[in-house]
Amino acid sequence: MKNILVTGYRAHELGIYSNKHKGIPYIRQAIASRLIPLAEEGLEWVITPGQYGVDLWACEAVFGLKRRYPQLKCSIITAYSRQEEKWSEEKQQYYRQILQQVDFFAEASKEPYTGPWQFKARDELLFRKTDGILLVYDEDAGEASPKFFKERALKKQAQDGYAYFSIGAEEIQAIAAEEQSAYIDESPDGSLDGGLDDNLDDGLDGGFDGRVDDRVDRGPR
């Protein structure tokens, strides 16, 4: 596998409204742990739609792996131009920082948002450019935006062997529990006072709270 699509929940679908949320590092770590064996086998490109949430945390996971796997590159392909213009200033600044570090950026449509067709065009491009998908999605939490990626990925898997991998709440919670246990072991009094209290509150504790509220001539092939 040379190219993989990584996507999943938008931040608000997890009840996450700040980059300081304590659950984010565990999501990044879960993504990185899945990418490592693929990178060992020759993975070259991680491609995301660049929406605020799992997409951008996946980019950060790739940035952290690049020193160990210098062949690994990160790409963002958005549905339309200036997708971030209605985001808060904090989110826009964070997004710009991510864009400065990606290896390739493109827009499926060069126009601002005009309709759902732009998302369809983006998804067609993303699936055409990739050999598989890593999806952060917990089915037990109910329907949310990743559901549509899963349905399309499984259809493509049946047609031409497209690879499908998923990360659920239990996997992320296991990482958080392991980190919490390590923190307790290192704490002088064996407590969590002042440490990792309520690691996955609001979004990940007890499962994801999921709700539903072509142009590229260069880059990943």
Q: Is the dihedral of CA 4, 49, 64, 208 positive or negative?
A: negative
* Span 187-213, average pLDDT: 43
Confidence of residue 191 (pLDDT cuts 50, 70, 90): very low
Taking only the tens place, the pLDDT of each residue in 80-114 is 999 999 999 999 999 999 999 999 999 999 999 99
| Chain centroid to CA 96 | 17
CATH placement of domain 3-176: 3.40.50.450
Characterize 19-51 residue by residue with b for buried, 16 or more Cβ atoms within 10 angstroms of its Cβ, and e for exposed: eebbbbebbbbbbbebbbebbeeebbbbbbbbb
Domain-wise residue ranges, the chain: 3-176
- What is the Cα–Cα distance from 143 to 140, expressed in whole angstroms? 9
93 CB-near residues (< 8 Å, 6+ apart): none
pLDDT at 183 over 90: no
Q: Structure pTM?
A: 0.84
Confidence of residue 140 (pLDDT cuts 50, 70, 90): confident
| Chain centroid to CA 183 | 26
Q: Is 183 exposed, middle or buried (0-12, 13-18, 19+ CB in 10 A)?
A: middle
Tokens, residue 178 = 């392991």
Residue 7 in contact with residue 197, Cβ under 8 Å?
no
Confidence of residue 188 (pLDDT cuts 50, 70, 90): low
